[in-house]
Structure formats: C-alpha cells, structure tokens
C-alpha cells in the first residue's frame, strides 16, 4: 500500500519515478549480468551459446519481480534471489550467471545505469527551464522595476535582468551535472574486496568490455564497492539545484504579496486558495518548491555519512542511499517541472511595477544625484551626507525628493527642474543592464548550441 507522497504520485514526474521503480531496478541488474556473460564469452571464459542464452532471457518479461521476492523471502538475500530467478529461466546456461563477481558489482553497476537514465531526464528538464528563462529575459529586458536590497527599495533594474540572473544560475547547474556525470556514471566488475581474483587473468578486459556495453565509465581502482564520494557529489549538486529553485520560488512568492503585486503564479478561476477565505489566491506551487527544497538539502548529510565505510565494504551506505538517491532525483526533477509550469505562464503586472517605482517619491534615485554631484566636483563623502539630509527632509515633510532638492539652499541652485527630472527618471539609470542581459542570453544560446539544442 502506498505511503509516501512519491508513492502516491503526489510528487514526481512519471518519467523520473519510472527510473526508480522496482521492476526497472531489476531490469538494470539483468542488463549487468547479460553484459558480463557476453564479455566473458568474448574473452573465452564461458561458452558463447550460454552467454547468448543469458542475454536473451535478461528481461523482466522472463524474470519476474514477484518470483525474485518470493525467493528473497525464503533466503533473505536480494541479489542471490535475483540470480536464482534468472537461472531458472536460463536452463543449463544459468550456471554461468554471476560468475566471478559479487553482489556489489551488480548493484553498483545497476545503480549507475539508473543514474544514467535519471541524469538525462534531469538535464533535459533543466534545459527546458533554461529556455523558458531565456525567453523571459529577452521579453522583459526593458521592463523597469524596483531593485531591492535588504527588502528595501534600492535602484531600478529590469525584470529581464532578474530572469537573466536565474537563467545563468540554471546554466551553471547544467554544467555541474555534466561535469559530475563522468565520476558518477561508473560501473564496477572487480569482485569481492575489489581484487578481481574470481574473474581470472582477463579480469580487466572483462570489466572494460562490460562497461563499454553498458555505456559506463571504468573505475580506476575500487574496493568491493564503488566509493561513495561519487554519489555524495551528486546529491550535493542536486541540493544546490534545489536551493536555486527555492530561491526563484521565494522571489515569486514575495513579489506576489498584495503589498508588492508585481508577479504572480498562473491561476484559474476554479482553483481554491483557502477553505475559509474565498478571496485567497496563494502561491502554493512556489511554496511546494520551497518546502521540497528543505527535504533535498537534508539529504546531503546522509550522502556525506555514506562516504566512510569499514575496510573494503560494509552495508551502512546501502539502506540510506535506497532512500536518498531516488528521493533527491525525483524531487529535484519535479521541482524543476513545477518552476517550468510557473514561469511559462507567470503573470506580470507592469502597471504595478511602475507604481512601486514611485513609492519613495524619487528617493530611490539618490545615487544618480550623488554621481551627478561628484561629476560637478563635489566631494563624494560630503555629497553623500548632504543628500541624506535632503532624503530625511523628503520623508519628514512628505514631499518628493525633487521638491526637497529644489528647496535646498545649496543643492537647489545646481540643477534645473528639467535636469532633476532626467536624473530621477528610473529609465535613465539602468547602467549596462540591457547589455548584460543580452550578452547572458547569447552566452546561454551558444552553450545550448554546443549541447546540441
């Protein structure tokens, strides 16, 4: 009976959940045994016809998960149960299954095959998110809005600038995933304690051939297991990705607050925000992303704890990684899809952005005036202090910054009203934002071309 929300299909995309289904895991184990038998036949260790029979039956169409579980219940050994169920359908050739290897060879290599599938799915998902953000960055490159620091109005930016920053963050995550693939997508055929003694004189060649058949890397040297620094790196990268998705979602949640009202999740009239308050339209999808990010970040500690094991192997990493690896990949992939859904139809309220630019009555443009004074020969530090006094007057008397400047005995003589209008116009103080955004978009487009997109 399903218990966890991944099992009930509340969370997770169908593609990623399928990677970690029990049947797919069994299939990957069968794929490893088939590749091993074929490699051993190629170097003359077992008969070719036996290897072909093993390979032809290496499918859950023949080796049933139910039968494996039935045997495991009796003997209490997962891999040996699968070996027996496999041997039952291979006849006399079944005696060559798992020859010279140990359980970790099969489990670690099968896991690498699952990770190969999962990382391909996740990279495509992130590439789609990157594409959505690239389009948003271009569309809103000139849409001026308040830039905030410490939650306070700082200087004007554009919405495209915000989206471009997120876009490049996603681009870096794709790079991180691609960089760690070579360290993570590695199988092992080294037998007990990693010595390859049971595989005979052609052991290294057998391992090379198995890895080649499965499209995996060859480890430099192993104990009885692949070293878990590889998997700890992956979980750490996934946690960083989750944190960026959390960041995007948090920003949308903040900007959806009625007091700000600049962005909002897509919604439909039939969606219910509150069981008690009919008016509520909540950013619940973004909140879900933020909540799941907490879970993913929490998986880093057990991943790091899995790196130390006793001597050449123990089982302390096995039980925890059966939770953390599927969970991390399923949740991050799902979170990425949620952000694609939100950003693809995000509601942008440009009128509200313009109104919010006026909340400080021009005071947010104080740096523009400061720089103008510095260009006219004012000591920068003294000018800063004088402007702070003018800002205080604007606040206390509830008058615009322009009025406060014009009424100042000293500064009011330095600028005409028209000059102040120009200085206090947010459109005139965007620096190189447009150039930065378009350069970031072009860099992303070039990286996508290199990736074949």
Q: Between residues 195 and 270, which one has the greater pLDDT?
A: 195
Residue 2 scores a pLDDT above 90: no
Confidence of residue 276 (pLDDT cuts 50, 70, 90): confident
> What topology does CATH give the domain 363-423?
Ribonucleotide Reductase Protein R1; domain 1 (1.10.40)
Residue with tokens 């399923």: 330
Question: Average pLDDT, stretch 269-286?
Answer: 87
Which of these ranges, 1-10, 26-35, 308-317, has the smallest mean pLDDT?
A: 1-10
* Distance from C-alpha of 30 to C-alpha of 59, rounded to nearest angstrom: 6
Annotated catalytic residue within 150, 275, 279, 311: 150
Domain segments of the chain as ranges: 119-191+221-358, 363-423
* Distance from C-alpha of 366 to C-alpha of 377, rounded to nearest angstrom: 17
Residues 362 and 400 sit within 8 Å (Cβ to Cβ): yes
Task: Pick 119-191+221-358's CATH classification: 2.40.37.10, 3.40.50.2300, 3.40.50.300, 1.20.200.10.
Answer: 1.20.200.10
Question: Average pLDDT, stretch 28-34?
Answer: 98
Please give the share of the chain, as a percent, with pLDDT higher than 90: 93
pLDDT, one tens digit per residue, over 297-340 is: 999 999 999 999 999 999 999 999 999 999 999 999 999 999 99
Residue 106 scores a pLDDT above 80: yes
Annotated catalytic residue within 56, 274, 319, 345: 274
pLDDT, one tens digit per residue, over 370-403 is: 999 999 989 999 999 999 999 999 999 999 999 9
| Average pLDDT value for the chain | 96
Confidence of residue 431 (pLDDT cuts 50, 70, 90): very high
Q: Is 77 one of the catalytic residues?
A: no
The pLDDT assigned to 243 comes to: 98
Q: Is 384 one of the catalytic residues?
A: no
Question: Average pLDDT, stretch 406-435?
Answer: 94
Nearest alpha carbon to residue 451 among 124, 215, 169, 185? 124
Residues 116 and 185 sit within 8 Å (Cβ to Cβ): yes
Give the ranges where 306-432 is alpha helix by DSSP (H): 316-344, 350-357, 366-375, 380-397, 401-406, 417-423
Give Cα 331 distance to the centre of its chain.
9
Residue 275 scores a pLDDT above 90: no
């Amino acid at each position: 009976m399903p218990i966890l929300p991944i099992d009930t299909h509340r969370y997770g995309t169908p593609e990623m959940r399928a990677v970690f289904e029990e049947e797919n895991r069994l299939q990957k184990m069968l794929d490893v045994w088939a590749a091993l038998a074929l490699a051993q036949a190629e170097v003359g260790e077992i008969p070719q016809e036996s290897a072909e029979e093993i390979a032809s039956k290496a499918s859950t169409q023949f080796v049933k998960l139910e039968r494996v579980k039935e045997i495991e219940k009796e003997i209490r050994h997962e891999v040996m149960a699968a070996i027996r169920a496999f041997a039952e359908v291979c006849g006399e050739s079944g005696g060559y299954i798992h020859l010279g290897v140990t359980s970790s060879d099969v489990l670690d290599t099968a896991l690498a095959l699952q990770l190969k599938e999962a990382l391909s799915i996740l990279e495509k998902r992130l590439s789609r998110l990157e594409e959505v953000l690239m389009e948003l960055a271009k569309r809103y490159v000139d849409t001026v809005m308040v830039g905030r620091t410490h939650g306070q109005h700082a200087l004007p930016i554009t919405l495209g600038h915000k989206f471009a920053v997120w876009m490049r963050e996603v681009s870096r995550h794709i790079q991180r995933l691609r960089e760690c693939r070579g360290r993570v997508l590695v199988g092992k055929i080294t037998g007990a304690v990693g010595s390859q003694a049971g595989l005979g004189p052609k052991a290294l060649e057998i391992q090379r051939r198995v890895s080649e058949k499965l499209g995996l890397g060859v480890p430099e040297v192993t104990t009885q297991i692949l070293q878990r620094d590889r998997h700890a790196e992956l979980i750490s990268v996934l946690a960083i990705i989750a944190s960026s998705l959390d960041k995007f979602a948090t920003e949308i949640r903040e900007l959806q607050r009625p007091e700000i009202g600049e962005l909002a999740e897509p919604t439909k009239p039939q969606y219910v925000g509150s069981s008690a308050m009919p008016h509520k339209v909540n950013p619940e999808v973004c909140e879900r992303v933020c909540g799941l990010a907490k879970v993913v970040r929490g998986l880093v500690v057990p991943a790091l704890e899995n790196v130390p094991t006793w001597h050449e192997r123990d089982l302390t990493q096995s039980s925890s990684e059966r939770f953390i690896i599927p969970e991390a990949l399923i949740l991050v992939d799902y979170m990425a899809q949620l952000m694609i859904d939100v950003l693809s139809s995000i509601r942008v309220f440009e009128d509200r952005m313009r109104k919010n630019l006026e909340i400080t009555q021009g005071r947010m443009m104080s740096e523009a005036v400061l720089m103008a004074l510095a260009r006219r020969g004012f000591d920068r530090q003294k000018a800063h202090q004088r402007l702070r006094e003018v800002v205080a007057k604007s606040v206390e008397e509830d008058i615009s910054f322009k009025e406060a400047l014009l009424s100042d005995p000293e500064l009011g003589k330095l600028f005409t009203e028209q000059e102040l209008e120009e200085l206090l116009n947010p459109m005139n103080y965007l620096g190189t934002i447009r150039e930065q955004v378009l350069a970031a978009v072009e860099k992303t487009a070039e990286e996508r071309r290199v990736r074949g997109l």
